[in-house]
Amino acid sequence: MTIGWHFDNTYSKLSNTFKENIKPTPVHDPELVILNEELASTLNLDFSKTDKKKLAEIFSGNSIPEETNTIAQAYAGHQFGHFTMLGDGRAVLLGEHLVNNDNRFDIQFKGSGRTSFSRGGDGRAALGPMLREYIISEAMHSLNIPTTRSLAVVKTGEKVVRENLLHGAILTRVASSHLRVGTFQYIAATQNIKNLNTLVDYTINRHYPEIKASNSKALDLLNLVMEKQCQLVINWMRVGFIHGVMNTDNMAISGETIDYGPCAFMDHYDPKTVFSSIDKFGRYSFSNQPPITKWNLARLAECLIPLIHKNEDTAVKIATETIDNFQNIYETKWLNMMRDKLGLFGENQNDLKLINELLNWMEINKADYTNTFCYLMNINTGDNKYKNLNFINWVKKWENRILINKGSKEKSISLMRKNNPIVIPRNHKVEEALDAANNNNLELINKLLVILKKPFNNQDNIMNYQSPSDNKDYQTFCGT
């Protein structure tokens, strides 16, 4: 075959503490559901000469590409605040595919069978959640947000048992790596300093080679990961994305969004918005995402204490001061992000007040987060809320602010259009597409994917994709 796989498997060469050598469990009757040809091209992969049956064999794990060394990765995690030793309970890493002998991407099957980390689970995945990850991760990529991506989904020809019997499926996930905060927690819990050093060096070589020669590698790594994670959550806040399960094992060291379980996008602006069926107390609500990011980073800092300084008290002090700086970094980045959303150039002492007045109005009036910024960009969304007198008065203040620093309405709207999506994966449209796919109809998913590929463009006939969901009790599920 001339597909173009070029595997190099550095992670599998680490000691067995880091992983389990295991192959995907073969499936009964695989069938290709969707293939991401654009991503394949980016990876220098060519599937055009491979028929659908063979593709189904490849992406189900029934026929594994040569040069792979399949493993399940070990990691731990704080899940809703409670520490657990985990690992890939339903995922198998094929290896690292090299693009142009330089860019390295993990290729992972999700839903590929049981491993020693399955903890009683079946190791399988259902079609709906795998297609949800495909849709949302590709949407995030188009929204210019760092993310893992989805290369393919296959049906397994087998049923999985959840609340009901569901179609089994396997997703092929592509990531710059699957290193997580939880990976560091797992190795730190073994209290083997040699393995901890190995993990730090591996992470730096893979993601942050600029600090290879540093005399304070662990601290520099912590600072770089904090910067990446801070910027990531800023991007989530920019578009109203709610991850839903920000456990430390779902926090990638690369700064990519990973694990699209109970995720969703906020409709009307409410900082307390939660969609996850298992998040009973709002731990991972929209407004809690920044403080939880800081909390997760503090768990990473704890793992690195032995490497930050020989004296433990000194190391704790340094790590604490580093993590405490997160708030300053976040607040500065958030304010600048909101300025961009509102097309504000330069700085003004009243900017924060102006922004908060808008957010308060949106919350009180249950205004749609995405569509409010569309309205300010003169894009019709069919909503009458914006005739409200308080909003009209706020708009006058905003328009006056735009003119400061040699600004103009045209320049501001141009900036806004780069930062404010016109379409997002509306929850009801995603569910509608998934329901159809479960009945072997992919038309709605394909149409949705086409529209979500250009979220900043004012496309024809998309009003139906801009409307908020009217389901106040909408919930999402982990799919495990």
CB 469, CB 427: distance < 8 Å: yes
The pair of three-digit structure tokens given for residue 157, joined into one six-digit string: 């020809």
**Distance from C-alpha of 336 to C-alpha of 351, rounded to nearest angstrom:** 10
**Distance from C-alpha of 317 to C-alpha of 305, rounded to nearest angstrom:** 10
Catalytic residue list contains 249: yes
Question: Mind giving me the DSSP string for 24-85?
Answer: PPP-SS-EEEEE-HHHHHHTT---TTS-HHHHHHHHHTSSPPTT---EEE--EEEETTEEEE
**Distance from C-alpha of 96 to C-alpha of 106, rounded to nearest angstrom:** 4
Type of residue at 465: Y
**Distance from C-alpha of 438 to C-alpha of 431, rounded to nearest angstrom:** 11
**Distance from C-alpha of 203 to C-alpha of 104, rounded to nearest angstrom:** 13
Distance, CA of 149 to chain centre: 9
Query: Does residue 474 sit in helix, strand or coil?
Result: coil
Report CA Rg, the chain: 23
Out of 8, 46, 122, 249, pick the active-site residue.
Answer: 249
**Distance from C-alpha of 153 to C-alpha of 418, rounded to nearest angstrom:** 31
- For residue 6, how many other CB atoms are within 10 A of its CB? 18
**Distance from C-alpha of 370 to C-alpha of 142, rounded to nearest angstrom:** 16
CB 396, CB 317: distance < 8 Å: no
CB 384, CB 366: distance < 8 Å: no
Query: Does residue 188 sit in helix, strand or coil?
Result: helix
In 3D space, the residue among 177, 179, 178, 184 whose CA is nearest the CA of residue 300 turns out to be 184
Question: Mind giving me the DSSP string for 217-269?
Answer: HHHHHHHHHHHHHHHHHHHHHHHTEE-S---GGGBBTTS-B---SS-EE-SB-
Length of the chain: 480
User: What are the φ and ψ backbone dihedral angles of 142, each rounded to 5 degrees?
Assistant: -70, -25
- The set of catalytic residues is 249
